[in-house]
């Protein structure tokens, strides 16, 4: 009975030890395993077992991209301006074994390397270049850090300058300069706006004068056309009147000819025409002998008609 209990206890202990030495490596992690204190292998994602009391998990390494925000570093520019610059480093562990055994406290090593590299780069630049060359600084720091950390199993993806803080007096001077620049740009914009406004007003006046001149010209043209049309109508009216008179005269001659008048009637008509021709305005009139005889006949007839009227 005692042997059964001891065997059961031993079996339970063995099962517990076996279970305790079965490990599951999660996604995006690598376990560094040592055997007898030396590197044995790196476990990837999945189920793994180790020898109890012989194998040991030395380090659990995340291979996800990591972000480290370092505290501000004091940097001196080429023109002796001291400023504070803090950086953000994005990196990823590519070799868990080198990361574990390559350097002591790798994050601290990256921070110190970033600070010294930043001082070297900014030390060759003046203040204005430092403030306007973030991309240049980021690119150079990334390149230098990536080459230096490659033997540590670390891949530096990129480095960003988070803040650049010049001294307070320089910030005040920069703010005043920016304010002056804004005021200057505002005045320039106002002057350009006023200039455009004056140009628009002048163009409007010019177009107005042109329109008024065109309107006056069209008005004069219309008036001239109206006068011309009036004269044409008057001339046409006079022509029609003359034509009507001539037509009436022609009709009277036709009728007179159709009536077959005698010589006396013709001479009488000639006398009437002669009277109209004289119209009391002629100073000298030569009367043909035939018309004179006809005039005497007409006077005699007039006297006879008058006597008959008195009786």
Identify the domain boundary among 166, 190, 206.
Answer: 166
Asked whether the beta carbons of 99 and 154 are under 8 A apart, the reply is yes
Predicted local confidence at residue 66, as pLDDT: 93
* Helix, strand, or coil (residue 69): strand
- Please choose, from the candidates 46, 254, 81, the residue with its C-alpha nearest in 3D space to the C-alpha of residue 170: 81
- Alpha helix positions (H), the chain: 2-20, 96-101, 106-122, 127-132, 134-149, 168-258, 263-278, 289-310
Residue with tokens 């953000």: 88
* Helix, strand, or coil (residue 21): coil
> What's the rounded Cα separation, in Å, for the pair 12 and 3?
14
Is residue 175 included in any domain, yes or no?
Answer: no
> Could you tell me if 53 and 118 lie in one domain?
no
Predicted local confidence at residue 266, as pLDDT: 57
Q: Look at 66-80, 241-255, 268-282 and tell me which has the smallest mean pLDDT.
A: 268-282
pTM, two decimals, is 0.54
> Could you tell me if 242 and 293 lie in one domain?
no
> What's the rounded Cα separation, in Å, for the pair 13 and 6?
11
Predicted local confidence at residue 309, as pLDDT: 47
Asked whether the beta carbons of 156 and 142 are under 8 A apart, the reply is yes
Is residue 54 included in any domain, yes or no?
Answer: yes
> Could you tell me if 200 and 248 lie in one domain?
yes
Q: In what order do the strands lie in the sheet with 29-35?
A: 38-43, 29-35, 55-62
Q: Looking at the DSSP assignment, which residues form a beta bridge with residue 90?
A: 67, 158
> Could you tell me if 120 and 81 lie in one domain?
yes
pLDDT, mean of residues 3-7: 77
Identify the domain boundary among 132, 166, 200.
Answer: 166
Query: Which residues in 102-153 belong to E strands, given as ranges?
Result: none
Output the six-digit token pair for 288: 């043909």
Contacts of 64 (CB under 8 A, 6+ apart): 28, 92
Of all residues in the chain, what percent carry a pLDDT higher than 90?
27
pLDDT greater at residue 239 or residue 77: 77
> Could you tell me if 85 and 156 lie in one domain?
yes
Range of the domain at 285: 262-311
Is the pLDDT confidence value at 103 over 80?
yes
pLDDT, mean of residues 100-125: 90
Is residue 174 included in any domain, yes or no?
Answer: no
Predicted local confidence at residue 145, as pLDDT: 92
Asked whether the beta carbons of 88 and 162 are under 8 A apart, the reply is yes
Output the six-digit token pair for 281: 């305005």
Contacts of 140 (CB under 8 A, 6+ apart): 117, 121
Q: How many domains, in total, are found in the chain? A: 4
* Helix, strand, or coil (residue 74): strand
Is residue 198 included in any domain, yes or no?
Answer: yes
pLDDT greater at residue 13 or residue 95: 95
Is residue 172 included in any domain, yes or no?
Answer: no
pLDDT, mean of residues 273-299: 51
Query: Which whole-number Å values give the CA distances from 295 to 99, 167, 267, 288, 290, in the listed order?
Result: 157, 138, 9, 11, 9
> Could you tell me if 151 and 243 lie in one domain?
no
Predicted local confidence at residue 293, as pLDDT: 53
Is residue 98 included in any domain, yes or no?
Answer: yes
> Could you tell me if 8 and 19 lie in one domain?
yes
> Could you tell me if 55 and 70 lie in one domain?
no
How distant is the alpha carbon of residue 105 from its chain centre? 55
Using pLDDT thresholds of 50, 70 and 90, give the confidence band for residue 311: very low
Predicted local confidence at residue 264, as pLDDT: 55
Predicted local confidence at residue 26, as pLDDT: 93
> Could you tell me if 210 and 137 lie in one domain?
no
> Could you tell me if 187 and 255 lie in one domain?
yes
Is the pLDDT confidence value at 308 over 50?
no
pLDDT in tens, 36-84: 889 999 999 999 988 888 989 999 999 999 999 988 888 888 888 888 8
> Could you tell me if 58 and 118 lie in one domain?
no
> Could you tell me if 72 and 155 lie in one domain?
yes
Identify the domain boundary among 166, 190, 222.
Answer: 166
Predicted local confidence at residue 113, as pLDDT: 92
pLDDT, mean of residues 292-296: 51
Is residue 229 included in any domain, yes or no?
Answer: yes
Is residue 173 included in any domain, yes or no?
Answer: no
pLDDT in tens, 10-32: 888 888 888 888 899 999 999 99
pLDDT in tens, 169-220: 777 777 777 788 888 888 888 888 888 888 988 888 888 888 888 888 888 8
Using pLDDT thresholds of 50, 70 and 90, give the confidence band for residue 267: low
């Amino acid at each position: 009975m005692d042997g059964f209990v001891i065997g059961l206890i031993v079996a339970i202990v063995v099962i517990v030890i076996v279970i305790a030495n079965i490990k599951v490596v999660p996604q995006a992690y690598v376990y560094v395993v040592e055997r007898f204190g030396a590197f044995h292998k790196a476990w990837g994602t999945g189920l793994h077992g180790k020898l109890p009391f012989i194998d040991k998990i030395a380090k659990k390494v995340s291979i996800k991209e990591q972000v480290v925000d370092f505290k501000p570093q004091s940097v001196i520019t080429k023109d002796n301006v001291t400023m504070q610059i803090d950086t953000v480093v994005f990196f990823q562990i590519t070799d868990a074994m080198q990361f574990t055994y390559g350097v002591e406290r790798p994050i601290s090593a990256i921070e110190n390397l970033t600070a010294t590299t930043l001082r070297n780069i900014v030390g060759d630049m003046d203040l204005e270049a430092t403030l306007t060359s973030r991309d240049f600084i980021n690119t150079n720091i990334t390149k230098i850090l990536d080459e230096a950390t490659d033997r540590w199993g670390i891949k530096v993806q990129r480095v960003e300058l988070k803040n650049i803080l010049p001294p307070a007096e320089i910030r005040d001077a920069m703010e005043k300069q920016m304010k002056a620049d804004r005021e200057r740009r505002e005045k320039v914009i106002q002057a350009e706006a006023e200039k455009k406004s004056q140009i628009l007003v002048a163009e409007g006046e010019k177009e107005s004068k042109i329109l008024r001149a065109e309107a006056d010209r069209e008005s004069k043209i219309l008036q001239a056309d109206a006068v011309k049309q009036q004269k044409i109508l008057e001339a046409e009216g006079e022509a029609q009147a003359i034509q009507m008179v001539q037509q009436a005269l022609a009709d009277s001659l036709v009728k007179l000819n159709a009536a077959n008048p005698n010589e006396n009637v013709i001479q009488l008509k000639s006398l009437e025409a002669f009277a109209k021709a004289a119209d009391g305005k002629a100073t000298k009139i030569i009367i043909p002998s035939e018309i004179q005889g006809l005039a005497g006949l007409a006077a005699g007839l007039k006297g006879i008609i008058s006597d008959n009227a008195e009786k």
